[in-house]
Structure 1
Amino acid sequence: MSGLVNVLVIVAVIALVVVRQCSARRISGDRRWWVLPGVLFVMALREPGLVDQHHETLSVLVLGAELVVGLVMGAAWGWTARLWRAEDGSLWSKGTRATVYVWTGGLLLRAALYGAAAALGVHQGSSALMMALAVTLLVRGGVLVRRAAGIPATYGVTADRAPFRQAWKDRV
C-alpha cells in the first residue's frame, strides 16, 4: 500500500476516534472492540518500510519507544474517560479534559520521537505511526472494557437489558 493511502487511513481513524471520544456515546456490549486495532496492526506489519534498512538498530529503538508511548497513551486515555450507567442500564462514555491533555501530550511525544529519528537519519514510514495507533486503540479499549465490567448494573436491569431475577431469599 502506498504512503499516501496509509496517511489517509491514519487521518480517517484519528478523526473517527476523536469525534467519537468528544461526544457522549453509548458503549454496546459488543465484544469486537479489538477488530479495528487488529486491522491497523496487520496493515502496519504488511508494509515493507516498518524498519529503516540503513539504521536497523536505531529504527527498532525508535519504533519501540513509539509503541511504549502508544501503550501509555492508550492506558491514560482509557482511565481518563468518564463512564456511567444510565437509568435504563446502558453504559455510556465520554472523554474529559484530562483526555484532551493525554492526546496533546501523546502527540507532542510522538512529534519529538519523529524529530529525534529524523535528526539521527532514521527514516520512519507511516506504518510505524499506524502500529502505534493500533496499540493505543487496543490498550484503550481493553482498559474501558475492564473499567466497564466494574460498574454495577442499575437495580432491576442488567447491562444487556435483560430483567434482573432476584434470588428466592431476596423476595421474602
Structure 2
Amino acid sequence: MSGLVNTLVIVAVVAVVIVRQFGARRIGTDRRWWLLPVILAVVALREPGILDAHHRTASALLLGVEVVIGLATGAGWAWTTRLWTEADGSVWSKSTKASAGVWIVGIALRAGLFALGAAVGVHQDSSALMLGLAATLLVRSGVLVWRAQSHSGVAVPAPAYGFGMARPARKERV
C-alpha cells in the first residue's frame, strides 16, 4: 500500500477504536481480540519501506522505539480503563480521562520520534506507525481480556484507575 493509504487506514482505525472505547462496552473474553492488531502488523511488515535503505541502523532503532512506545501506550491505556461487572456476570469497560491522557502522551512521543528521525535524515514510512499502533492495540486488548477473565463472575468493580467512580447511567451498545 502507498503511504497515503497507510495513513488513511491508521487514522480510520484510531478514530474507530477511540470512539468505541470511550463508550461503555461489554468485554467478550472468548472473541479473537488479537485479530485486528495482527492484521495491522502483517500489513505493516509487508511494506518494503519500513526501514530506510540508506540508514538501516538508525531506522531500525527508531522502529524499535516506536514499537516500545506502542507497547507502553497500550499498557497504560489498558490499566487506566475502568472495568466493572454487571449483575449478570458480564464485564464492561470504559476508558477514562486518564486513558485520554495516555493517548495524548503516546501521540506526542510518536511526533517527537518522527521529528528526531527527520532531523537526522532518516526516512520514516507510515508502516512504522502502523506497527506501533498494532502493538498498542495488541497489548491493550490482551491486558483488558486478562483483567476481565480474572474478574468474571465477581459482582464488584475490578480494582483499577477510577475505582469507586459512579457507573454510567446507560449502556451504549454498538
Which TM class, normalised by the smaller chain length? 0.7 to 0.9
Quick one: distance in 2 between partners of 1:109 and 1:124?
Answer: 15
Higher relative contact order (CA 8 A, sep 6+): 2
Please give the alpha-carbon distance, in whole angstroms, between the structure 2 residues aligned to 1:142 and 1:2. 30
Are residue 12 (structure 1) and residue 12 (structure 2) matched? yes
What SS does the aligned partner of 1:108 have? Answer: helix
Structure 1 residue ranges without an equivalent (≥5): 156-172
Contact 1:27/1:90 (8 A) holds in 2: yes
Runs of 4+ more than 2 Å apart:
none
- Greater displacement, 140-149 / 108-117: 140-149
**1:48 and 2:48 correspond:** yes
Tell me the CA shift for residue 88 of structure 1: 1.6
For residues 144 and 110 of structure 1, what CA distance do their matches in structure 2 show? 23
Equivalents in 1 of 2:66, 2:36: separation in Å?
A: 19
User: 2:70 matched to 1:70?
Assistant: yes
What is the identity, as a one-letter code, of the residue corresponding to 2:90? S
TM norm structure 2: 0.86
Shift of 1:2: 1.2
> What one-letter code is carried by the residue in structure 2 that aligns with 1:122?
V
Structure 2 residue aligned with 1:117: 117
Which residue number in structure 1 is paired with residue 60 of structure 2?
A: 60
- SS of the aligned residue for 1:149 comes to helix
- Is the CA contact (8 Å cut-off) linking 1:88 and 1:154 kept in structure 2? no
Letter in structure 2 aligned against 1:143: V
1:27 corresponds in structure 2 to: 27
What is the alpha-carbon distance in structure 2 between the residues aligned to residue 11 and residue 106 of structure 1?
15
With normalisation by structure 1, the TM-score equals 0.87
The percent of aligned pairs where both chains have the same amino acid is 61
Q: CA deviation at 1:87?
A: 1.2
Taking the aligned partners of 1:15 and 1:30, their CA distance within structure 2 comes to 24
**1:131 pairs with 2:123:** no
**1:66-104 superposed Cα distances (whole Å, 9 cap, x missing partner):** 111011111111111001111121110000111011000
Q: Distance in 2 between matches of 1:21 and 1:3?
A: 27
Q: Could you say what the CA RMSD is over the residues aligned between the two structures, in angstroms? A: 1.1
What is the aligned residue count?
155
Tell me what 2:106 maps to.
106
Deviations 1:128-162 (A, max 9, x none): 0000000010011111111111214047xxxxxxx
Please report how far the alpha carbon of residue 46 of structure 1 lies from its aligned counterpart in structure 2 after TM superposition. Answer: 0.6
Rounded Cα–Cα distance in structure 2 between residues aligned with 1:136 and 1:2: 22
Q: Which has the larger radius of gyration?
A: 1
For structure 2, which runs of at least 5 residues remain unmatched after alignment?
156-174
SS in 2 for 1:100: helix
